[in-house]
Structure 1
C-alpha cells in the first residue's frame, strides 16, 4: 500500500537540516566562534567537557544581540550578513547562511546570555530541541555566552557515530587553532575538562600566535611570504627545511580570511618549493590569500571549507611564483648540532595545566583581564620574548647584549670551562657563505670519505656534498639551456628504436614540437615503433632510451599542448644522473671549479630533490664537545 505524500513537521525538518550544519561538537564550536568573530570580539574563550558533547561553552566580548532580536536569531535563514544573492560573491563575514543557531538548538540544550552596550540589562534565553524554554532579562556583561549541553540528546543515532570524547576534543582544538591563526588580533583561550590547553596573546602578531600554538622551534624557523600582483595578495610564512612534514597536515591556507582546504593551493605551494623540499616531504606553511574582487566563491558547501577560484591557472601560477621567490635568495645552510639527543617532532607549547572550577558565564572580570594575562603568561621569561622585544629596544641596549654574549663565549679562561646559555635560531645571521667576498677567506681543508668537502669559514665548519652540489649545478645549467632554447641535437647511429603504447603514441604525436625543441629527431619505424635518430646533445651521456621513455610517460601531465615547467624539470632531473658520485675522488682544483659554479646559482643550498648541498657546524658546538665550554 502506497504512503500518501505529506509535509513534514517543523521539528523533523529542523533535525534533518541540522545534519548539514551540525556534524559533531567541532562544527558547533566553529559556527559559534565565527559568530563571535563577526561580532567584533577581541577575546574569545572556548571551554569543553566530555569532548564538547556534554558541555561546550563559548564566551566573547563582542557587540551582543539585542533583546528583541534573540528569538529571530534562532529561526532558520535569518541573518544580518547578507540581503541578496549578489552579496554571496562579496561576502566578508565568516557566517552568512543563517542556519547555525536554528540547527544547533534543534539537537541540543542551548542557553544564551547576551548584552549589547546600549542595553541596561542583558538577556537570558533557553531553548531545547527547537522548543523555547525561557526568555528573560538578566544581569550580564557586554558580549555573548553560549552553553551547549547534551549534543544530539534527541537524535541518538547521530550521537553513537561520534568518536571518543578525547578525539572530539582534538577536533575542536584543531579548528580553534586555525581560527586563532586567522585572527591574531583576537585573544583565544581553550580549556578542556577544566584545564587550560592554550591561549594566544591577541596582540596582532601572527608570529606570536604561531609561537603560542606550535612553540619556539616552529616560530624561529619561518620564512616570510609577501607577494602582491593585481587583485591577488599572498602573505604569511613557509617553514624552513627543518620543519618539513611527511604529510600535508601543516599546509594551512586562508582565502579572504577564511580557512579552506584547497588542492589548487597545495599543489601550487609544492610546485614553488620544488628543489627546496625533499621528495615525499611537504612544507609547513601558513598562508593568507586575498582576492580584491569577485574571484572567489566560498558558497560551495555548508562547511565553507571548499573554495572555487574563477581563474585557477592564474592562482596556481602566482602562488607558486610567490613561494619560489620566498625561498630564493636565502642562505639556507642548516647548522647541525653535535649532540646525541634525538630530534623530536615539534609539539605545541602548553601552559601549565591547572584544574579549576569552570567559571560562570556572567562573571564580568573573566574577559576584561584576559588579553593582558595571556600576553604576559605566554612571553614571560622565554627566549622568544627576548628575541622579539629586542626589536623594540634602543640600539645601544642591543649592542650591549651582543657584546656581553660575545665576551662570554669568545674569551674563556683556558683552564676553566665556561657556562653558556645559548638559544639556537639557525645559521642565517651569517650571510654570504657563497659570495665572492667571503670566498677569499674560505680555507679548503680537504675531502672526507671521498664524498664530502670540508671548508672553514668564520666560526663555522662547512661540509659540501660533492654529488648533491654537482647535481644542482647540472640541473640549473640544463634548465637555463632549456628555457633559452639552447638544446642541441646529437645524431646517433644506429638509431635507438622504442616501442610505445597507444596512449604514449598519441602523446608523442600531440607534443612532437616539444620533443623537437628538446633536440630529438624522431621517425616512425613501423606500427607503434619509433626511431630516435637524434637525441638532446646536452644530455648525451644519459641513456637515450631511458630518458625518452621517462619523458613520454609524463606527457599526460603537460598542459595547454605546449612545453610546461614539468617537462623542463623532468629533463633537468634526468641530467643529474651525469653528476659525480659519492666515493669518487676529485682534486682540489675540480672542487674549486664546482664551488665557483655553485656561487652563480640563485639557490645552491639544495639539490633538485630537496636534499641539502651544504651543512655547517658551529665552533661553539665543537667547543662543547671538547668541554671547553659547558651548558
Structure 2
C-alpha cells in the first residue's frame, strides 16, 4: 500500500487552478466578475494571441488596500463571505476565494491597484505562485491586471488550448454576455489592438443587443417588463420567431446577474416557443431572472456556471408563462420590404438570367413538354399548368389543357430521361415507368407510388435534399459550379466567433459559388450565391451554414468543410407540408432515381420506404 502524505502547497494550488483556469476565458471571467463586485462602472478587457500571451483587465472599482494585496492571492481568501451561512445569501458573483491564487499558480501576474483616498497605489508581481515584488506606484483609482503567458510552466496543459482565434472567440462570447447582464457598466473589449465591442453603460439592454447582434435582431425583439411573482422576477428581451437559430448559442439568461446554464430554464423557454418555431430551431433571449438568494444555490461547481433551485417547478412555470404571454400578445407576422428595381436593374437581371440558362450545365432536364405541347392542347379538354420553381431545378412553365389519363401518363413518361434502376423490381426503369402509378401525396409530405406488388412511399423533403446535395457535389467535382448575382447584396451581421469561422473557411465558400466581402464593422455583403441556392440563400440559411461548421475541428480538411457546406445547403430543399403538383413530384422523383445512392438523404434519413401487397394483406387479415 502506498504511503499517505500531504500534498505540497504548490501541487495543491495547481490542482485548484485546474478546476478554475481552463483557458484564457476562464481568467477573464474571474477577473471581470471581481471588477463587477468591486463596483466598477467601466471595465476594459484587452487580449493578445487569444489571451494566451496577454490579458489586460482594467476597472475603476474600489481597488484593493495595500496591506491586503498579499492576502488576496492566498487560496480561499475572499472579502465576499465570512461564514458558511453567507453562502446562502451572497449576492456577489465571486465568493470562493480561489480565482487569484489559481491564476497566479499558472501565469505571470502583475497587479496595480489603488483605493479611493489613497495617495499611491500598489504594484504586485507574482509568477507561478511565487512573489517577485511589491512596491508603491502612482496609479488611478481601481485595479489593473496584466496576466501573461498562460500555462508557461505547465506545457502539458497548454497543448489542450485551441487556436488563438478560437480562444479569442470564447473571450468575446463571455464579454458579450457580461455586457448583457450588466447594462449599467461600460464594457470595452480589445482583441489584438482592435476594438471589437464598446458599450455605453447607459442601462439600455436593447442598445447592447444592437451592438452585439446587429440591427436585424435588435429590430425583432420583444421587451418583457419586470413583474414579481412569489419572489421571482423575469425581465429583458426575447426574439420574435423570425430570428430563430439552429442552435442554443443565442439563448442568454442570467440569474441574479450571473450568466448560467440551466436545463430547467432552457426547457421553459423552448416549451414556450414550441407553438411558434419549427423543430430544432431555437430562440434569441436575453432574460434577467431575479430570485431570493436563499432559493438558489450557485455553489455547485467551481466555475459557478450551474445553479440549483429550491423550487424548480416554480421557476419553470414563471419563465414559461412570462415568455408565452409575451409571444401570445404580439403580432408575430414578419414584414418583408420589396424594393422595386429600376429599369436598368431589370435589364441587367434579365441578361444574367439569360447567360445562366445558356450554360451547358444548366440543362439538367430534356424538354419533353415542348415536344408534345401541341398534341396536348389538341387532344385535352381541361386546363393544366405545370409549374417548375427554381428550387426543383432549371425547368420551365408550360400551360395548356390536359384531360385524358393517357395524356397524363405521357407527361410522366417524358418527365425524366435515361433513368437508372432502383431495387430489384426496377421501379422507374425506362421499361417499367409505363406500369407505375403515382397515386398522390399524403399529408402534403409523402408521395405514394404503386408498382408491381409494392407500395413505395417517398419523402419529398429527404428526396429533394439528396438531389440538391448530389447536384452540388457533382458540380464541385467537375468544377462547374456557377454563381448567380444577388441584387441588392444580402447584408449579414456576424458575431466575433461567426466572423472568425467565415474567415477560416472563406476559400471553401468562394469555391462553391459564394461572393462575400467585408462591408464594415462586423457586417458582410453576400453579392453572389451558388446558382442552385438562388432565391433561397438568405441571412438565415447562411448563418445556419456557419453554425453547421462549429463542430468541425480546426484541422478539418477542405473537402470535409465543402461536404458540410453542401449538406447545409440542403436547407433549401422543399419542406414537408408543402404541396407539389404531380408533375413537380414526378420530375423530382425522376432525378432522385438517377443518383448512385437514392435511398438516403445526406443526413442519413431514408428517402424511400416500401410495403408489399403481401404485408398489407396480412395487416387486413386476408392472409393468415
State the TM-score, normalized to the length of structure 1.
0.54
Q: Is the 8 A contact 1:250 1:283 kept in 2?
A: yes
- Residue 526 of structure 2 corresponds to which residue in structure 1? none
Q: Which residue in the other structure is 1:324 paired with?
A: 324
Q: Is the 8 A contact 1:212 1:349 kept in 2?
A: no
Separation of aligned partners in 1, 2:190 and 2:5: 46
CA pair 342-317 structure 1, distance change in 2 beyond 3 A: farther
Equivalent residues of 1:198, 1:349 under 8 A apart: no
Conserved? CA contact 2:113–2:142, under 8 Å? yes
Secondary structure at 1:249 match in 2: helix
Displacement of 1:224: 1.0
Shift of 1:256: 1.0
Matches within 5 A, 1:200-599: 200-226=199-225, 227-338=227-338, 341=488, 346-348=493-495
Superposed CA offset, 1:272-318 (max 9, x none) = 12222223211111111111352111110011110111111121112
Cα distance in 2 between the residues matched to 1:64 and 1:92:
19
State the distance in 2 between where 1:63 and 1:297 align.
27
SS of the residue 1:106 aligns to: helix
The alignment status of 1:169 with 2:316, answered yes or no, reads no
The question of whether the paired residues in 2 share the 8 Å contact of 1:106 and 1:130 is answered with: yes
Partner of 1:532: none
**Matching residue of 1:80:** 79
User: Counterpart of 1:335 in 2: which secondary structure?
Assistant: coil
Structure-1 residue corresponding to 2:92: 93
CA displacement, residues 133-155 of structure 1 (integer Å, 9 cap, x when unaligned): 00000011111000000111111
Query: Counterpart of 1:152?
Result: 151
Q: Give the 4+ runs in structure 1 shifted more than 6 A.
A: none
- Residues of 1 paired with 2:328 and 2:218: CA distance? 20
Q: Where does 1:89-128 land on structure 2 (aligned, <5 Å)? A: 89-128=88-127
CA gap 1:47/1:312 in 2 versus in 1, 3 angstroms: same
Task: Note closer, same or farther for the CA distance 1:270–1:22 as it changes in structure 2 (3 Å cut).
Answer: same
1:342 Cα offset (Å): 6.7
C-alpha separation between the residues in 2 aligned to 1:318 and 1:12? 45
Determine the C-alpha separation between the residues in 2 that align with 1:346 and 1:281.
19
Structure possessing the higher relative contact order (Cα contacts under 8 Å, 6 or more residues apart): 1
Structure-2 separation of matches of 1:41 and 1:213: 21
**Distance in 2 (alpha carbons) for counterparts of 1:222 and 1:117:** 41
Cα distance in 2 for partners of 1:133, 1:235 equals 47
Query: What is the deviation of 1:218?
Result: 1.4
Q: How far apart, in 2, do the equivalents of 1:323 and 1:341 lie? A: 36
CA contact (8 A) 1:11 1:130 kept: yes
CA distance in 2, matches of 1:342, 1:300: 48
Give the Cα–Cα distance (whole angstroms) in 2 for the partners of residues 312 and 5 of structure 1: 42
- The answer to whether the 8 Å contact 1:215/1:349 transfers is no
C-alpha contact 2:110 2:145 (8 A) present in aligned 1: yes
Report SS of the residue matched to 2:133: strand
Aligned residues: 355
Which residue matches 1:373? none
Q: Which blocks of at least 5 consecutive residues in structure 2 are unaligned?
A: 340-486, 498-520, 522-576, 579-618, 620-624
Structure 1 distance, partners of 2:140, 2:49, is 27
Q: 1:341 to 1:314 in 2, by over 3 A?
A: farther
Q: CA deviation at 1:348?
A: 4.2
Distance in 2 between the 1:198 and 1:63 partners? 24
Write the deviation string for residues 69-101 of structure 1: whole angstroms up to 9, x where unpaired.
000000000101011111111111000000000
Answer whether contact 2:90 2:293 (CA < 8 A) is retained: no
Aligned to 1:194: 193
Q: Is the 8 Å Cα contact of residues 200 and 213 (structure 1) preserved in structure 2?
A: no
Counterpart secondary structure, 1:59: strand
1:614 paired residue number? none
Match of 1:568 in 2: none
- Correspondence for 1:65: 64
SS of match in other structure, 1:173: helix
**Partner in structure 1 of residue 22 of structure 2:** 23
* Aligned-partner Cα distance in 2 for 1:84–1:129: 30
Quick check: 1:59–1:144 contact (8 Å CA) kept in 2?
Answer: yes
TM-score by length of 2: 0.55
Deviations 1:43-88 (A, max 9, x none): 1100111110100000011111010000000000010101111111
Could you report, residue by residue, the CA deviation over 1:195-238 in whole angstroms, capped at 9, with x for unpaired residues?
11111111111111111111111111110123421211000111
The superposition leaves residues 423-478 of structure 1 with CA deviations (integer Å, 9 ceiling, x where unpaired) of xxxxxxxxxxxxxxxxxxxxxxxxxxxxxxxxxxxxxxxxxxxx99xxxxxxxxxx
